[in-house]
Amino acid sequence: MTDLPAIALKTPAILLAGDVDYAMYWKFRDQLAAAPATGLVVVALSTLGGDPEVARMMGEDIRFHSEISPDRRFVFLGKAAVYSAGATFMSFFARENRFLTRGCRLMIHERKMDKTLNIIGPLSMCLASVRATLHEIEHSILIEKEGFENIIAGSSVTLDELMNRAPSNWYVEASEAVELGLVSGVI
């Protein structure tokens, strides 16, 4: 892959801003369907975060289309803020296809859960409810780790370093992201 001049990222085929949610997903899908069938496909995003599973769905669409359309190059352009679920989405792009605008900030953190577990009923059912919640937490941690590994692939950041920084919300400025090898360049 060759470095891209800023002019190549001037007019994104897919332009997304706001919460990463199902409404964004459908906008993304509509714009993906209308994107060029060959050549550069720039996906610009600015977000303060949202649903990590929606980000993973969008990312899987990028991964799938990258595999079935080798004559297309999908490029990520983070603008202003790429927080939380936005960083998850970015992780599906090859590192050499990740760019940020000047002053953009990435924010990477652990997944969060807000759940009340009411234990009421026969003991065997109570145990099943507790196990189900434990499984949900365990698998969410595995999914989170996969995403962290994708974000840091090819960079100088270790998984241990990211795991240590993520609980307190790790903010990374665009130029630092380049220095660490998390993204290819700053536009």
The answer to whether residue 36 is domain-embedded is yes
Q: What separation in angstroms does the CA of 38 have from each of 16, 101, 113, 126, 147?
A: 21, 24, 40, 55, 28
Q: Please state, in angstroms and rounded to a whole number, the distance separating the CA atoms of residues 86 and 51.
A: 9
Are 68 and 157 contacting, i.e. CB atoms less than 8 angstroms apart?
no
Does pTM top 0.85 for this prediction?
yes
pLDDT digits 0-9 by tens, 49-80: 999 999 999 999 999 999 999 999 999 999 99
- Residue matched to tokens 């990740």: 98
Please say if the pLDDT value at position 25 is more than 60. yes
Q: How many domains does the chain have?
A: 1
Type of residue numbered 134: L
Number of C-beta neighbours around residue 43 at 10 A: 25
- Residue matched to tokens 């706001």: 18
CATH number at residue 122: 3.90.226.10
Give residue 75's domain range.
6-186
The answer to whether residue 48 is domain-embedded is yes
Higher pLDDT residue, 68 or 123? 68
The answer to whether residue 1 is domain-embedded is no
Q: How far is CA 177 from the centre of its chain?
A: 14
